[in-house]
Structure formats: C-alpha cells, structure tokens
Structure 1
Amino acid sequence: MNHLAADRYRSYYLLDDTLGAQERDVASRVRAFVDRDLLPVINEYWERAEFPHQLVPLLADLDVAGGAIEGYGCPRLTRLGVGIVARELSRGDGSMNTFLAVHSGLTMGSISMLGDEEQKSRWLPDMARLRKIGAFALTEPEHGSDSVALETSARREGDFYILNGRKRWIGNASFADIVVIWARDEDDGHVKGFVLEKHDDGTFPSGYETTVITGKIGKRAVLQPDVVLKDLRIPVGNRLAHAETFRDVSRVLATTRSGAAWEALGHATAAYEIALAYAGERSQFGRPIASFQLVQHRLANMLSELTAMELICFRLADLSGRGQMTSAMASLAKMHTAQKGRWICSTARDILGGNGLLLENHVARHLTDMEVVHTYEGTDSIQALIVGRDITGVSAFA
C-alpha cells in the first residue's frame, strides 16, 4: 500500500472549514512539503536512525519557525496556525515535528518569553530562518517528570557562569547552534536559563559533550543525545534576563504542551487515513475487509476519538489565542490526545494485520512515535495530577 495514495482525511465535523486564510495557507504549504519531500525519504532515515539534514532548507522555506512570536523575522502565526503546523508535520513524521518543536517552540519560545530585547534581536532572526538551530536542555538522567529538582549547577565567576551537570534526551543538541541550558544558580538556588552558542568555526565550546542515544523504538530520525557539562563557561550576557525561577520554565512548557496534543492528532490522522484506505483495498474471503462489520466498528470508533481530539485541539488553540488557556487545560488536552492517539495508531496497525508491521505502510512508525508522545512533555500520570490538583484544590504530588 502506498501511503501517498491514501484518501486524505477531512474533518468529520468540518473543523477545517473554520480555518482563516493564514491557517489554510500554512496547512497547504506544510502538506505539500510532507507529501512531496518528507514521506518519500523518511522511512530510510528512520530505519538508519539518522536525521534528514537536507530537508532543513526546505522546511525553512515554509516560513513556520518561530510560530506565534511577533517580530524578529518570525511568521506571527495564530495559535491555531501553530497547531496546524504540528498536525501536518506529524501526519508525515514525528521526528521532523519534534525537530521543529524543540527548535521553534521550546528554544525560540524560551528566548522570546524570557530573553531581553538584545538577546531576542541577537538570536531569533537567524533561528526564524533556520540558519541557526536550537536545542532545549532541561531533562536530566535522574530528573524527568521531577525536572524541578534538576541538579545541573551554575556558579558565577567574574564575567562567566560555570556550568556542571548532565542532561538527557536533548533533541538537536548534538548539532544545534544555540542550546538553552537550565541550571540551578548556586548563589540563590533558583533554576535559570543559560544560552550556549557555538564558536564561529562551528565547534562547541570546551566543556560541552554529547553522545547520541541509540536503540530507540520511536522518533528514530531525530537525534536526542546525552549531554555532559564539565566546567562549561557561559558569558554573563547569555543568561536569559527574565528566567529567574522554575516557574519561568513552566511557562514555556505550558505553551508547548498543547503542541504535543496537536502532534498526537497528526499521528492519529495519518493512522486513520491509512487504515481506511487499506480497508477498501485489502480483500479477504472474497471481499474488501471494509465490508466486514468488525472493521467498520473499529473505523467508526477511530473516527469518533479522532473527532474528539480535533475538537479539544481547536478549542485549546482558541483559548490560547484569547490568553485564557491554563496549564491544567493544556495538561488535559495532552493527556486525552496522547491516550486516544496511541489507541488509534494501535487499532490501525491491527487493521493492517501483518502489513502494519512494515515501514513502507507507515503505521508502525506512527505507532512507535506515539509511544514517545505519550511520555514526553509530561507523562499521562503527571498530566492527571496537574488536572487533579486543579479540580480538587489538593496536590497529590509526592
């Protein structure tokens, strides 16, 4: 089965009909990139666990990096437009979406939200054109869900901060030009953001070492290294001016958490498209399996969950654009879409039977990538505790 021949899913409740001109345009551009440039090559890179660097200039031409950031060469998309980009990229491949989400949402988002004017002017324009690539170093080997307890330290010595510690699962960090590193300031104990820049010759400063994590079952085409910081010197002027406590990190994460919901929607959309097309093409016992009651029951339930995911994502984008989205709202969206996206991809794989195990049919890639989405940006359990705290007024965090 050729995924490119699968019927493109059209929102059952016609939500795409509500898109404005900007969102329609960006959806069209990203879909064209996915179908023309990404899907024909991604399985090859995914299987080899390599990042498709040659696609970066083509991604830059889409003018989507920087999302909703105003100025500095960014496209100033609506929050809905940012979500549509994540949906369409993930419909093609989760690794490419993660690459952009780390660069645009987490790294550029940190600089935009927490940098001063000089810092934003220095870094964002080149990042908006993907001339410089960003990475976001928060998670540590012993601190994932409890990243608030991170142990990486920063000590000021004259005009520099000296950073020591380890980071893990840091997307893009092995080749990025700009890395936002979160560390605990020894002077006051607060978590702050520091920006590492490559030298002009393209090398990393002394004290920054990366080892790409291998053996992953999902997101194989995005590079996520372990990072070791040993007496890494960061100029004082590279400390994000308005990053004072972990609450500031949380502000960035709350913004990007909704992006994980849109990614889940993209994976689920692709899986549903593929399963529906396959059911119409695959014959068993002398007729297409789409004529079997059990298959129609599964497809109808997949569509039901997919529609619910869409409604949540569209509404969350509206609330975000109005400045009304809360952290708990974002957590509820991520929790629901990760659960249902995982189920839709698993059911699609089942409909394809043995053929669902083959990369050429793409479902296996979406399924294993959804395993990653289910974990990152906060696990299902962590999102439930955030929502639970909000609705009960009682924190159940240990």
Structure 2
Amino acid sequence: MTDAVDLIDVDFLLTSEEIALRDRVRSFVTTAIRPNIADWYDKAMFPTQIIPEMAKLGLLGMHLNGYGCPGRSAVDYGLAALELEAGDSGLRTFVSVQGSLAMSAIHKHGSEEQKNEWLPGMADGTTIGCFGLTEPDSGSDPASMKTFARRDGDDWVITGHKRWIGLGSIAHVAIIWAQTSDGVRGFIVPTDTPGFEAKVIGQKLSMRASIQTELMLTDVRVSGRALLPNVKGLRGPFECLNEARYGIIWGVMGAARDSYQAALEYSQTRMPFDRPLAGFQLTQQKLVDMAVELNKGTLLALHLGRLKDAGRLAPHQISLGKLSNTREAITIAREARTILGGNGVTLDYSPLRHANNLESVRTYEGTDEVHTLVIGNHITGIPAFR
C-alpha cells in the first residue's frame, strides 16, 4: 500500500531519523486513535487521556528549544502533524494550539521567568494552554479586537470576549491578546483567575473530537508580570499563527492520505457488476487524481519544511502552502467519499469525517481569501485587504 501512496518516492528525501520519528507517531495513531476516533467524533469528545502519551512522544512544543521542550526540526514537526491528522484533525489541532500557539507565544515573546515557569509543564502535558485572539466580530481582522487591558497600578485589568478558542475549557493558562493604550499586547492569564470563564461551543458539524470555546473576561486582574514583554502589536500573534499555519500545510495531507487510502482499499474489495470497483476507468481516474495531488502537496510541505529549517521560509510561502494543500485535501476527501457510495456517509469510514474537519481547517489560521490576498500582495506589491 505504501507504493500506492508515495508515487514519487518522497521517502528518499527523508533521513532515517525523520522516518523513524514519523513511524513512531504513525504507530501511536494506529493503536491509540484509529480504534477510537469514530466514537470520540460521534460523542463530540476530546480524549484528554491521550495527552500524557503525546507528551512522551515529544509532540508538545515539539519544534521549540530549551525549557524542557523537545527541540526537533520543522520537518520532524511536519511529519508528526501529518500522521496525527491522518487520525483526525482535532488531535493535530490539540498539538498545534498547545505548541505552535500557546507555547510559542511564551517562547518567542516571554521573559526568562515566564519561560521557566510555564514551558516545562506545557511540554510534559501537565499544563494545558490556549490562545485567545479571535473574537466574535473579528476573525480575519484581529486589529479590530475589542478586548481591552488597562493599567491599574502595577496590575492589568482585562475585559473582553474571545470565540473559537481551542482547549479553553481544559486549559490551565490562556494567552490573551488585548488592545491597550500602547497597542496590542499579550498576557499570560491563569484560567482560575476570577472573572475568567470558558464556555464550550457545542452542536458542531466539524472538529467534533476537539474542543472550541468562548472566553469571557470580566475585569480579570493579573499582575504586571503577566505581560509578554518582548513584543508589541499584531506581530506577536501573527508570528505564532505562522507556526500553526506551517503545521497545517503538513497536517491536511495526512487527512487527504487517509481518505485516499480508505477509498482505494474499499474499491479493491467492493464488487459491483462482478468485478472490483477499482477496475472501472472512472474509479481509476478518481484515484489517480487524488494520488497526484497528494504527492504534490506532500512534496510542497517537505520543501517548505526544509526552507523553515534553513531560516528561509517567508510568510507568503506559508500562505501558499496553507491555501493549496487545504484546498486539495478537501477535494480529495470529498472525492474519496464518492467512491465509498452511501457507506461513505457513516463513521465506519473516514473521508467524510475528514472533509467535515477540513472545512474548519480551511477557515482557521487564515481563510482562503486571506491567504489569497497575502499571496496577491506579494505578487503585485499592492495590499488589497481594505
């Protein structure tokens, strides 16, 4: 089955260490996620019991150095994200929110005291973080956020409302971005602080094995030491978002691969008109189209990962990868479902679950429209956001 997936020998471009790490994560997905994901998705349940094993695999803050973090390469992180999302987007999202968003904010912008206080526990999974940027009326335009932090002596008092915040209800600490009299600033807010409330968003049609929440902050008082001291303005959250977007470029190829493999296996055993479904020309065209885009997308992810490890990855390149790979992954998942016929709308098979999840992935960390305009700005030199 490997040869039916990796048509261009992408593995030849990986080191033995990278392949070994990928295979460890793949084994974890096979044993801990695949047998249970349909039930978790059906019950809209995030499996907190697997967090310690994820930590033991070095998946939390995987690409960060020091402070108990694993310090792996960008390609290592990408390969892990691909394997996790082959299980389910919600499980890869947990790793992204914890490591690429919450931990990265502290690692990039925090003081030494803050890093030593928070990062070791977050790396070992005993402390869960969330990242409060998006608001009900400001998703793609975070500059219009209304959450405000005011100085009161040596303290800060934060009031506002965040929405679509992953892990908010199980988090021990929240990274909250707020307007101040000195521009947008980030704050480390323990979630047991009086005035902090997290409410789970229910009745979702997507990302059901994941947690999304609303955060309400009512006169939440934190000390001056809660302020992330080393960044001011939207550069702070955007640098973290680019870490998460990079992981998506890889992750969605995992969802696409799993969808393709499910359709291929089904087509070889389904026997309409006394022959395998895989033997029909129209089915083969679907499978070939899926395989071609899967291989192209994986190669793009690997190239961007090598650029990131070399310190050469630019924001427009992240946007290109996120836009292209997410778009193609959705197409693959939907096409795979057609090969499964009516059986494909059940949780016995993964493609429609992946397709539903990918609708969320397509929206968060920058919509298609936002990434199109980022690339357009780079090509033309003319910003077209307003």
Name 1:370's counterpart in structure 2.
358
- The one-letter amino acid paired with 1:248 is G
- The one-letter amino acid paired with 2:67 is Y
- Verify the 8 A CA contact 2:158 2:220 in the aligned structure 1: yes
- Verify the 8 A CA contact 2:259 2:351 in the aligned structure 1: yes
Name 2:226's counterpart in structure 1.
238
Provide the rounded CA distance (Å) in 2 between the counterparts of 1:117 and 1:21: 35
- The one-letter amino acid paired with 1:271 is S
Provide the rounded CA distance (Å) in 2 between the counterparts of 1:330 and 1:66: 19
Provide the rounded CA distance (Å) in 2 between the counterparts of 1:8 and 1:73: 38
Name 2:83's counterpart in structure 1.
88
Secondary structure in structure 2 of the residue aligned to 1:234: strand
Provide the rounded CA distance (Å) in 2 between the counterparts of 1:263 and 1:212: 24
- 1:180 aligned to 2:168? no
- 1:278 aligned to 2:266? yes
- The one-letter amino acid paired with 2:90 is S
2:121 is aligned, of 100, 123, 126, to: 126
- The one-letter amino acid paired with 1:40 is P
1:11 is aligned, of 6, 9, 24, to: 6
Secondary structure in structure 2 of the residue aligned to 1:183: strand
Secondary structure in structure 1 of the residue aligned to 2:140: coil
- Verify the 8 A CA contact 2:336 2:351 in the aligned structure 1: yes
- Verify the 8 A CA contact 1:135 1:173 in the aligned structure 2: yes
TM-score, normalised with respect to structure 2: 0.98
Q: After TM superposition, give the deviation of residue 16 of structure 1 in Å.
A: 2.0
Name 2:74's counterpart in structure 1.
79
2:17 is aligned, of 9, 13, 22, to: 22
Q: How does 1:208-227 map to 2 (within 5 A)?
A: 208-227=196-215
Name 2:186's counterpart in structure 1.
193
Q: After TM superposition, give the deviation of residue 259 of structure 1 in Å.
A: 1.1
- 1:144 aligned to 2:139? yes
Name 2:378's counterpart in structure 1.
390
Provide the rounded CA distance (Å) in 2 between the counterparts of 1:285 and 1:160: 74
- Verify the 8 A CA contact 1:8 1:273 in the aligned structure 2: no
Unaligned 5+ residue runs, structure 1? Answer: 1-5, 199-203
TM-score, normalised with respect to structure 1: 0.95
Q: How does 1:163-178 map to 2 (within 5 A)?
A: 163-178=158-173
Provide the rounded CA distance (Å) in 2 between the counterparts of 1:147 and 1:93: 28
Q: 1:351 to 1:7 in 2, by over 3 A?
A: farther
Q: After TM superposition, give the deviation of residue 98 of structure 1 in Å.
A: 0.6
- 1:330 aligned to 2:318? yes
Provide the rounded CA distance (Å) in 2 between the counterparts of 1:8 and 1:272: 13
Secondary structure in structure 2 of the residue aligned to 1:142: coil
- The one-letter amino acid paired with 2:121 is D
Q: After TM superposition, give the deviation of residue 10 of structure 1 in Å.
A: 4.1
Q: How does 1:292-331 map to 2 (within 5 A)?
A: 292-331=280-319
For 1:248-268, what per-residue CA distance to the aligned partner results, in whole angstroms no more than 9, with x for missing partners? Answer: 221221222111111211110
Provide the rounded CA distance (Å) in 2 between the counterparts of 1:350 and 1:43: 19
Number of residue pairs aligned between Structure 1 and Structure 2: 386
Q: After TM superposition, give the deviation of residue 381 of structure 1 in Å.
A: 0.6
Name 1:114's counterpart in structure 2.
109
Q: After TM superposition, give the deviation of residue 9 of structure 1 in Å.
A: 5.8
Unaligned 5+ residue runs, structure 2? Answer: none
Provide the rounded CA distance (Å) in 2 between the counterparts of 1:9 and 1:212: 41
Provide the rounded CA distance (Å) in 1 between the counterparts of 2:16 and 2:219: 50
For 1:159-201, what per-residue CA distance to the aligned partner results, in whole angstroms no more than 9, with x for missing partners? Answer: 211000100000001110111010011x22x111101124xxx
- Verify the 8 A CA contact 1:7 1:277 in the aligned structure 2: no
Name 1:161's counterpart in structure 2.
156
- The one-letter amino acid paired with 2:186 is G
- Verify the 8 A CA contact 2:64 2:70 in the aligned structure 1: yes
- Verify the 8 A CA contact 2:29 2:87 in the aligned structure 1: yes
- Verify the 8 A CA contact 1:279 1:289 in the aligned structure 2: yes
- The one-letter amino acid paired with 1:245 is G
Name 1:205's counterpart in structure 2.
193
Secondary structure in structure 1 of the residue aligned to 2:171: coil
Provide the rounded CA distance (Å) in 1 between the counterparts of 2:100 and 2:213: 19
